[in-house]
Amino acid sequence: MRHLLNPLDFSVEEISQLLDLASDIEHHLPKYAHVCDGKKIATLFYEPSTRTRLSFESAMLSLGGSVLGFSSADSSSAAKGESVADTIRMISCYADICAMRHPKEGAPLVAANHSSIPVINAGDGGHQHPTQTLTDLMTIRSLLGRLNGMTVGLCGDLKFGRTVHSLINALVRYPDIRFILISPPELRVPEYIREDVLKAKNIEFKEADNLDEAMPELDILYMTRVQRERFFNEEDYIRLKDCYILDKAKMKLARETMFVLHPLPRVNEISVEVDSDPRAAYFRQVQYGVYVRMALIMTLLEVEKPC
């Protein structure tokens, strides 16, 4: 039995196979309508979510399976003090696979250690968000036709942004990747990403605070939200929340072949006037998230690809 807790739990070859399956699902959706008949996914969300929870549920329903779960800690027995370890023992009796989001880093790992069903990390605190990363990889591969040889700009909250941490971890395994890390000094990537991932693997990167200067160099711009829920201090949040706003004027500085991704939700960091730009790919990214989660459910449940 396998879990997905970290994007590195799958090898580059396995990710390639998973993205191929997701792409086949995209183009032959009806073929997959019954491959998970009788299977159930439990979505255990201790933190708010729109895309991740609903895309897991949509994915399982599209495969013929069923869904159960909770969408907040308050509506589960966590509110009465039940531990993650005990909860997953129960869920293992009710479902075949589960996706867990939790504000505490490492909670899905604790769940996996006590589970008899596959556990998928659907985001743990400021740590990792591996299924967002698989979505991002599928989006980039579909848009550029490759996952190597590119300059990726990551912009916004690089300190608490789990999508950023997971994406960097995943992309450094491909050749000729260069990063421009654009953030205010207070929201730079954590030390362990800089030292243990980027420097340790000899990856070319620079840290910057000016988005305009970086724009002409980018193949991919990955915008992120400054996350109010991760700040200890409201004053700091208010000071930093609008530090980057991507608008039409900034898009004029970019290549015609650059694409903008965002894990969403957005607040102010991408002006709605950018949505109609053909390079704005963040809503297409949401659709890829369903195909990739369908492929992931099939892979972890060891469901055969239909003919």
Active site residues: 51-52, 80, 101, 129
Site for ligand CP in 35-74 (CB under 6 A): 49-52
CB of 200 closer than 8 Å to CB of 192: no
Amino acid at 278: P
H or E element in which residue 239 lies:
helix 234-240
Asked if residue 101 lies in contact with residue 123, where contact means CB atoms within 8 angstroms, the answer is: yes
Q: Quote the least distance from Cβ 261 to ligand CP, whole Å.
A: 11
Least spacing, CB of residue 272 vs ligand CP, in Å? 18
Could you count the other beta carbons within 10 Å of the beta carbon of residue 174? 16
CB neighbour burial string for 58-95, b if at least 16 within 10 angstroms, e if fewer: bbbebbebebebbbebeebebeeeeebeebbeebbeeb
Reading the block at residue 284, the tokens are: 């297409």
Q: How far is the CB of 265 from ligand CP (least distance, A)?
A: 6
Contacts with ligand CP, 218-257, as mask; x by CB under 6 A: ----------------------------------------
By C-beta, is 205 or 282 nearer to ligand CP?
Answer: 282
- Residue with smaller CB distance to ligand CP, 128 or 132: 132
One character per residue 260-279, x = contact with ligand CP (rule: CB under 6 A) = ---xxx--------------
Q: By C-beta, is 3 or 162 nearer to ligand CP? A: 162
Number of residues that bind ligand CP (CB under 6 A): 9
Q: Specify the residue, 35 or 156, whose C-beta has the smaller distance to ligand CP.
A: 156
Q: What x/- string results for residues 104 through 143 when contact with ligand CP is judged by CB under 6 A?
A: -------------------x--------x-----------
Residues in 143-162 at the binding interface with ligand CP, rule: CB under 6 A: none
Cα dist from 83 to 6, 76, 80, 88, 103, whole Å: 22, 11, 9, 9, 14
Q: How far is the CB of 55 from ligand CP (least distance, A)?
A: 8
**Residue 226's closest CA among 283, 260, 261, 187?**
187
DSSP structural state of residue 71: S
77 to 96, contacts with ligand CP by CB under 6 A? none
The nearer residue to ligand CP, 159 or 293, going by C-beta atoms, is 293
3-state helix vs strand vs coil in the chain, percent to 5: 45, 15, 35
**Helical residues (DSSP H) of 145-225, grouped into ranges:** 162-171, 191-192, 211-214
List of residues contacting ligand CP (CB under 6 A): 49-52, 123, 132, 263-265
